[in-house]
Every structure is written in structure tokens, then in C-alpha cells.
Structure 1
Amino acid sequence: MADRRGSGRHRREPVLDDGGAGVLDVRLTLDDRAGRGASKGRRAEGGPPRGSGPKRPKRRGRSILGILAYWTVVLGLWCAIGLAGLVAYHAAQLPPIDQLKIPKRPPNIAILASDGTLLANRGETGGRSIPLAELPPFLPKAFVAIEDRRFYQHFGIDPVGIGRAFFRNLSGAGVMQGGSTLTQQLAKNLFLTQERTASRKIQEAILALWLEANFSKDQLLELYINRVYFGSGAYGVEAAAQRYFGKPARAVTVSEAAMLAGLVQAPSRLAPTRNPKAAQARAALVVAAMAELGFVTDRDAKVALSDPATAARGHAGGSANYAADLVMDVLDDFVGTVESDIVVSTTIDPGLQAAAERALTDELAAKGARYNVGQGALVALRPDGAVRALVGGRDYSQSQFNRATTAKRQPGSAFKPFVYLAALEAGLTPETVRDDSPVNIRGWAPENYSRDYRGPITLRDALAMSINTVAVRLGVEVGPRKVVRVAQRLGISSPLQANASLALGTSEVTALELVGAYAAFANGGTGVIPYVIAGVKTADGKAVYRRAETGLGRVIEPAIAAQMNAMMRETLLTGTARKAELPGWDAAGKTGTSQEFRDAWFVGYTGSLVAGVWLGNDDGEPTRRASGGNLPVEVWSRFMKVALANERPVALPGLRGAPAIAAAPARQRSAEAAPPSDNAWIPPDPAERGLLERLFGIR
């Protein structure tokens, strides 16, 4: 009997095959192969029939899990290849990486008041760039807390943040979140447009990696807070702090910092000037995030939440912006093209500017509807031409049109001092008498405001009472061209029509040039060029421009200036501007009203300040009898009382210790002896009167 062990019949051992997970492969040893023959022989000699012994297991196919794993790997590889190609394509649309550089920030123009406080920022950004070192630590951290809390951990792209935002948005829990890091937002602001496309997001990610590789985290954060947009034309945290809170960024509180950080998500919707409740709600989320991350103490967080920030009332649309606009209009004449941040020092007194704004807006609020007056302007100068206050309208936030410097309106009788000055220079005196009676010039028959006539009247009284007939006669007498030259000599630059109606102020002028011309009376006869810029420096303090003493030189003889001052002082004492008298001060001026009460003016002055007020409507609609002697005088008086409250009274030039009417200089001649000037009219002999009556209609 054969030994079974010797036959090589060994037990088959199952072994896992490397080629497939879980597939059983039966491996036979060499002895197994040798024993097959014996087995066959036994079956032939009467052993068990074929197929009755143990069956060989069949090879099974791959499991579903294995197939999924396989195709997942394949699909992942193809996606990686496709993504790499997509990134390469969009990267090719960008400038070469080795040529990338941070775009230069547009220059800022900081405009300062005479005391060094900030009036406004101008330029594309609305504020200067400010280093992190100048800011309270909680301010930049507020942006990290709400916009990118893993800013200091990620490499420019934050997969963890993207995943968290995805699942949070998917679940609908809390506020919708985005996955962009601060670095990605910075990349978008620096290099890309604001369009929302997949292409831009890919380029944004590429640029974010480049930024992270070339700048430190603090450098990136500083770039971000100085470039991000906060709404209302403010780019950067300094511009935003000034715009919304009226203070520099270094002075903001925790609650204000939180509101600024919350703004960047939606500047228009969350602006505290437009939607304060939404802005405060967003700021509360920022404060909570800052406390959670340890950026502020719990005590500071409670204070910030209990006392939320509010926008500075009226700061954004303040009238100082009209003065700032004037600065920008003339700046090119002094410094040319601005290529870096500069600081402009001005002559504007912030106290006087605020007083001028209040005087104008409060009077219009109280009486504008009664007089049907919608707009106004106020200009105040020192007698040397330095602009101390300039208000170009009742509300800058509603209208940026500068009615003080740009609008040209008929000055009415406020133009008459130039006519009377020409008459005095032609040899007349304040005591010269002219006839107040109807006048007709080639069919034009101007009337007095009162529509009555006083007969013979001195020039002093005629100017004080604003008698139209006398002014017209004087204009024709000295010649309209002479009047034009006198006005231009004193600083009127607008075109003037040399005709008879010029004496009644029918040629249009701006408030600034009219007030500037009156400064020659206030300083005793020196012509001035109104100016608002005192100096310009670079941001690091290098002088670019410094104003030198300039002007138009002497334009009125001192004695004649004294006569004009005495005559216009009478306007406030007994004439059309009696409401404008300033107790304790020598003051002078002239009212003006244009045809159909469209424009109402008063320009008045002391020895230390000249101010002019215009009131009317932008569309030229007539007012309800607003004349120079009522509402403009009231605005002027209200302003001047505040402006001069802390100053020592100064006498008008030529009137200190002198009689009210100064004597005429010896060189003056009577009107009858004065030589004719261009287009001048000399009182005729009786034999000639008929011809002139036919030519001019004068009786």
C-alpha cells in the first residue's frame, strides 16, 4: 500500500495574490504537480470519478469598492492635469512673475487749515497711506478678525477657511462667508478688476501666492488697509477715518475700528452715513470676533458694544470742501503735476469757516422759504487777500457746485462803488451834488428801488441810499470804459460790458472777485489777488512752494480810498444796510439787488476783515423781494459778529481821528475843469443841451 505522504499529495494553501485585493490564488508546489499523475492513475484504476474530488476555486472579478478607488485615482490625476493646465493658461495672461511689482498708489493731497488741522484730502484715494506703526494695534487686527482670522497661518490661500465657509454657507448657519483671504483681496485690489469670474479667481490665487512669497504678513496687512475701498471715495483706513469720523486713523476707538473693518464687505450698504443701524450691527460682529481671538479685552469689547460708533455729523459734506475745491482748482499753477503725496497749507481759519457755514445755512433754513431763496455763498478775506472762509452753497453733500468761485451773477448796486471811485478820480467829491430825477438813455429809463426821486443830492447820500439815477448819470459822465478800467484795476477779471447799464451792475461777476476788489478799500488802496494756498510741502516735509508777498500794487490813492470808506460807511449808518452796523467797529459796505430780485448781495468790511454774501436761486428764478438790505445783511452781520468777537476794533483806513468825510486832495479838480476821458460825458453848456438830450435822452 502506497504511502500517501510519499505520493506528494499535500494540502493546498490559500495565499493572497498581489495582483488583486481579496482574490484567492491556489498555488501548487512542485510536489503537487508530481502527484497529479498518480491521482489520475488511481482514478483510472477505480478511484473516484472525474470531478468528484475537491473543486478548484474560480477567480472572482474586482469588487465595487476597488473599482471606485481605481477610477477615483484616475479621475483625480486627470483633474490635476486639467487644473494645472487651467492655472498655466491664466498665469500666462498675467505679466511675467519676475516683472511683477506693487502698483504705485495714487498721490494724496492733504489740505490743511491755517492752524494745521485737516480740511480735506484730495486725490483718487481720499487719504494718505499710513504705516501700521502709527495705528493702534486693535485697528489692523479688526480686519484680520472679521475678514481672515487665519491670516497669520495660511500661505495666501486658506483651504481650511474655504472649507469652513463652504459648509457654513451650505448649512445656512449664520452670516454667509467667503473663502478669500486678505492676501487674495489685496491681489484683487492691486492687480485685477472687480469682475466676478472664475478666471479672475484663479489669477487672484496665483497673485496671492506671489505676494506671500515676496512680502511679510505685516507688510501685506499694511498694504491692504491702505488700498481697500471704504465707500464715499475713501481708499485706505486714513481716508475712511477722516471721512466717517472726522479724525485721523490713529485716534479711532475700538468701536470705530470695528465699524471700519466691517465696512469693507459692502461699503455702500454698510456706510454709517447712509445706514447706521446696519453699520453698527456689522461692527458688533467684528467686536465679538476680536474678543474671541483675544485682540481686545472683554472689558474693551463690552465698552465698544455698549457705545457703538456713529458717523461725525455733517463732516463728510462740510463747507470746508468748497475751500478744498478752490485749492485743487489753482494748485497746478503752483506745483504742476503731483506725483507723490503732498501737504497744502491754506489760509482758511476753521473757526471762521464754521461760523460762515452756520450763518448762511441757519438763515436760509429760517427765512429761505419766505424769500424763495434756495442757495447762497459767503466769502471772507483779510484785507491782504488771504481767504479766511469760503462757503459755496448751503450743503456740499447735496451740491458740489461752488457758487463763490464759479457762479457768475449780476452784482446789482454792489458794483456802484467802482462807478463812484471813477467819479472821485475824475475830480468829484463826496459833497458833489447830482440830480436824482428820471433819466432816459436811448429808450432805457432806469428807476430807483423806491420809485421816487429826491432831486439834488450829494454823492455821499446817493451812494448810501443806492440811488440808481445818480449812478447811471455818473457812469455816463466819466464814461463806461473808465468804469471798466477802474473795476479791472481793483481785481474784477470777468468780462464787463462798457455801456450805461454797467453802473447798475448788469455785467456778471463771481463772489470771490467782487469781495477781492473791495479789499482795496479795506486796506487803504492796495489791489489784492485773493489767495488760499500759503505753502506746499512733500509728505516728508520738503518745501515745494511758499507764497511770496504779491498783489496788484497801489490801485487807489490813499485820500480817495479814505473818501470811499467814509461814503460806504454811511451805507451802514443811514443807508440801505443799517441792519449791518457793528457796534464798536468802523464798518462800510454796499448792498446790491439785480433785476426782478434774482440776486441779493451785501459786501461789507472792517479794517481787518472783508466779507461778501450772495443769495439767490441756481436757475435764476426771482426771489420774493430778497434785496441786499434784508437777508444778505442779516447773514453778513451774524457772521461778522462771531468773526470779530475776539478782535480789537480797527479803524477803516483814512478815518482814524479824521472827520467822516475826508477832504479832497489838492490835485483834484472840479468836474467842469476835468479833461475828458475815453467815452466820458462832461456836463454841457446850455447851448449844447438840446443835442445831448436827442442823443442820450437826458433831461
Structure 2
Amino acid sequence: VLDGPTNFGPDGGGRNYVPRNYSGRFHGVISIRQALAMSLNVPAVKTLREVGIDEAIEMAHRLGITTLNDRNRYGLSLVIGGGEVTLLDETSGFSVFANDGKRNPVDPILKIVDKDNKIIRENSPKNMPVLDPQIARKINSILSDNKSRTPIFGPNNKLFIPGRTVAAKTGTTQEFRDAWTVGFTPHIAVGVWAGNNNNRSMRPGADGSFVAAPIWNKFMSQVLPQYPDDTFLAYEKSDSKAVPKVAAKSQYKITYYRKSNKKKISEKKAKSMKPEKVIQKIEVVSSEPFSAEGNFIDKKPVF
């Protein structure tokens, strides 16, 4: 998918919707794996455009999300935080990935016993299939791939726990009102939300990786020794001949300009400057297997 400046047309307020990545930078043609692992906004919006908003909301409900019920309120920004969900629902939804595509309704009661230790009620897993196991396994593979997220988060980020297999995703809403981190292993799913109860903005830079992820990391580091260090089940890889290749780096180029005077600058200089002071122009030299607008030509993405 092409991660570059994209105008998705008028939003609900009549203004053109042109989302940006959190860093303010674009990365050209990348794989779906890289886009999700690095938490890039533009590829996410393009993916929702291909999938469809109604279909995405239906899937969210299947995963256990109980909000997002007024379809008319949501547009393409839904995929990057444009809809309200609860921390409990979000964590429950991620647990479906951990459970190989099967959902267990949220229940705070594990067991009730009387004074004689007789079981009055005991929670038993329902394991309702709601997602193709192969899709769940691909998501697990991507979200546990520390190498793919490293260009944005760094190698020693708080989503990485040395010696353990964990999958995790951060999130941040507009104006730093909400910071999220949800992660899991094959045995446990944990979610963390950070923000103000009155919905006021936190300090600039208070995103999911800096505010919520350290809490998540510390908790997981404490509880994981109680669980086996199992790895996620591997997904079945498609025949390489049937899957389109992602365009190589030589098939696009990025040119950088100083915003103040529109003069061309080097990539090294651009990366040393604040994102808001740099203009990136991405030129696609070859459009295979994606169009110049970054639309999928073949619906089979490369993982």
C-alpha cells in the first residue's frame, strides 16, 4: 500500500479529509505488515475504504464491541479513532486474536463457592467462532513483530518484553485526549487507557506509546511468569505466485522540501527538522501492484 499524502474527498463537514501519520512523515510503498506494525494512519484509512465502513462495524460487533451503533456518525476516520469504544470492549476484542478467532463474552465472575466449597456457579469458556483463524494468526504475527515496528517505535519499545512472545498495539486520539495500549499472549489479554476523566487534553506528546505502554509493559512483566511462554500459531502462507509483490524501493522516490521557501533539501536534513517544517513529495515510478493513488489492484495483501 502507498503511504503518502491522500485526499479522500469531503468529510461529514464538507471539508476534504486528508489524514496524516502521527509522525507527520510518509514512507512510500510498504507492506500491510509494516503499515499496521508501525501504526500508520494513511494506510489504515485506505484499507477501511476498501473494506467498507458498514462491514468494518459489523466485524467490530462480532468481536465484542458494543458501541458504534449509529452508522451515520462514522466516516473513514473511524479506523484511526473516530468512534468511541470502552476499554473493556477493546480488550475483549483483542482477546479474539489471542484465542485463534474465538470469542468469549465478558464475565467478571470466574467461580462462586459456598462455605463448604461447593461450586454455586462456574464460568466455562464459550469459544464462539467469530473470525477466520488464519486472519487472527496473521494479526498475531504482525502485532508481535518487533522488527516491523522498530522504524517508528525503536527496538527497545514498551511493546516488547524480552524473552516473551507478546502482541500489542497502541493508539492515540486527537489532541492527546486518550492514550491506549492493548496487548496479549495466547493466555491473557490486557488493556490500558490513560487520559483525563473530564476529557481534557493531556500534555502534547502524551501518546499511547509514552503514557499507556509503560503501564502495560510493567503489568505484563509481572504477570507473564505465571503463564507458559507459548508462541502464537503460525498462519498458512499463500503460494507466492498467487500473491502480488509489494513494489520495491526503486519503484518510488520521496523528495523533501523546506516548507518556508519550497527549496529542495536532503533526506538527512529533512529528518533532522520538525515534521511541520518539511514537505514530502512522493512520486510512484511504477504502479504495480498498486495504482498511483495507492488503491489495491488485487485484494490479496502481502503480509
Give your verdict on TM over 0.5.
yes
Determine the structure 1 residue equivalent to 2:182. Answer: 603
State whether structure 2 residue 82 is matched by structure 1 residue 506.
yes
Determine the structure 1 residue equivalent to 2:64. Answer: 491
Post-superposition offset of 1:524 = 1.4
Give 3-state SS (helix, strand or coil) of 1:601's partner. strand
Is residue 184–residue 190 contact of structure 2 (8 Å, CA) maintained in 1? yes
Determine the structure 2 residue equivalent to 1:590. Answer: 169
Determine the structure 2 residue equivalent to 1:529. Answer: 105
Amino acid at match of 1:584: G
Q: Structure 1, residues 101-149: CA drift from partner, whole Å, max 9, x if none?
A: xxxxxxxxxxxxxxxxxxxxxxxxxxxxxxxxxxxxxxxxxxxxxxxxx
| Bigger Cα displacement from structure 2, 513-522 vs 568-577 | 568-577
Post-superposition offset of 1:444 = 1.5
Determine the structure 1 residue equivalent to 2:196. Answer: 617
Aligned with residue 24 of structure 2, among 441, 451, 463: 451
Post-superposition offset of 1:532 = 1.6
Determine the structure 1 residue equivalent to 2:215. Answer: 635
Is residue 515–residue 603 contact of structure 1 (8 Å, CA) maintained in 2? yes
Is residue 176–residue 206 contact of structure 2 (8 Å, CA) maintained in 1? yes
Is residue 168–residue 182 contact of structure 2 (8 Å, CA) maintained in 1? yes
Aligned with residue 654 of structure 1, among 223, 231, 234: 234
Amino acid at match of 2:5: P
Determine the structure 1 residue equivalent to 2:5. Answer: 438
Give 3-state SS (helix, strand or coil) of 1:602's partner. strand
Determine the structure 2 residue equivalent to 1:663. Answer: 237
Aligned with residue 556 of structure 1, among 125, 128, 131: 131
Taking the aligned partners of 1:449 and 1:684, their CA distance within structure 2 comes to: 24
Structure 2 unmatched ranges of 5 or more: 11-15, 245-288, 294-303
| Bigger Cα displacement from structure 2, 558-567 vs 456-465 | 558-567
Is residue 600–residue 614 contact of structure 1 (8 Å, CA) maintained in 2? yes
User: What is the total number of aligned residue pairs between the two structures?
Assistant: 234
Pick closer, same or farther for the CA change 1:665–1:594 going to 2, 3 Å.
Answer: farther
Give 3-state SS (helix, strand or coil) of 1:613's partner. strand
Determine the structure 1 residue equivalent to 2:248. Answer: none
Q: Structure 1, residues 224-251: CA drift from partner, whole Å, max 9, x if none?
A: xxxxxxxxxxxxxxxxxxxxxxxxxxxx
Post-superposition offset of 1:669 = 8.0
Post-superposition offset of 1:483 = 0.8
Q: Structure 1, residues 458-517: CA drift from partner, whole Å, max 9, x if none?
A: 111111111111100110111011111111111111125442111112111111110011
Q: Structure 1, residues 501-538: CA drift from partner, whole Å, max 9, x if none?
A: 11112111111110011011112111121222133455
Determine the structure 2 residue equivalent to 1:567. Answer: 142
Q: Structure 1, residues 597-638: CA drift from partner, whole Å, max 9, x if none?
A: 110000011122211110000111111121111121111111
Pick closer, same or farther for the CA change 1:580–1:543 going to 2, 3 Å.
Answer: closer
Taking the aligned partners of 1:532 and 1:644, their CA distance within structure 2 comes to: 20
Post-superposition offset of 1:452 = 1.5
Taking the aligned partners of 1:492 and 1:440, their CA distance within structure 2 comes to: 29
Taking the aligned partners of 1:507 and 1:571, their CA distance within structure 2 comes to: 27
Amino acid at match of 1:490: L
State whether structure 2 residue 210 is matched by structure 1 residue 644.
no
Give 3-state SS (helix, strand or coil) of 2:29's partner. strand
Taking the aligned partners of 1:482 and 1:571, their CA distance within structure 2 comes to: 29
Higher fraction of strand? 2
Determine the structure 2 residue equivalent to 1:144. Answer: none
Aligned with residue 576 of structure 1, among 153, 167, 172: 153
Amino acid at match of 2:153: T
Q: Structure 1, residues 32-51: CA drift from partner, whole Å, max 9, x if none?
A: xxxxxxxxxxxxxxxxxxxx
Amino acid at match of 1:599: D
Taking the aligned partners of 2:195 and 2:44, their CA distance within structure 1 comes to: 24
State whether structure 2 residue 96 is matched by structure 1 residue 520.
yes
TM-score between both structures, scaled by the size of structure 1: 0.31
Amino acid at match of 2:218: R
Give 3-state SS (helix, strand or coil) of 1:494's partner. coil
Give 3-state SS (helix, strand or coil) of 1:629's partner. helix
Determine the structure 2 residue equivalent to 1:212. Answer: none
Amino acid at match of 1:602: T
Taking the aligned partners of 1:529 and 1:654, their CA distance within structure 2 comes to: 25
Amino acid at match of 1:648: P
Pick closer, same or farther for the CA change 1:487–1:541 going to 2, 3 Å.
Answer: same
TM-score between both structures, scaled by the size of structure 2: 0.69
Post-superposition offset of 1:640 = 0.8
Determine the structure 1 residue equivalent to 2:40. Answer: 467
Is residue 65–residue 85 contact of structure 2 (8 Å, CA) maintained in 1? yes
Post-superposition offset of 1:541 = 6.3
Give 3-state SS (helix, strand or coil) of 2:144's partner. helix
The structure with the largest alpha-carbon Rg is: 1
Is residue 517–residue 528 contact of structure 1 (8 Å, CA) maintained in 2? no
Amino acid at match of 1:507: G
State whether structure 2 residue 49 is matched by structure 1 residue 476.
yes
Q: Greater relative contact order: 1 or 2 (C-alpha under 8 angstroms, separation 6 or more)?
A: 2
Is residue 559–residue 664 contact of structure 1 (8 Å, CA) maintained in 2? no
Post-superposition offset of 1:544 = 4.4
Higher fraction of helix? 1
Determine the structure 2 residue equivalent to 1:221. Answer: none
Is residue 171–residue 208 contact of structure 2 (8 Å, CA) maintained in 1? yes
Post-superposition offset of 1:543 = 5.3
Pick closer, same or farther for the CA change 1:648–1:602 going to 2, 3 Å.
Answer: same
After TM superposition, where is structure 1 displaced by more than 4 Å over at least 4 residues in a row? 537-544, 683-686
Give 3-state SS (helix, strand or coil) of 2:201's partner. coil
Pick closer, same or farther for the CA change 1:554–1:579 going to 2, 3 Å.
Answer: same
Taking the aligned partners of 2:119 and 2:187, their CA distance within structure 1 comes to: 29
Post-superposition offset of 1:453 = 1.1
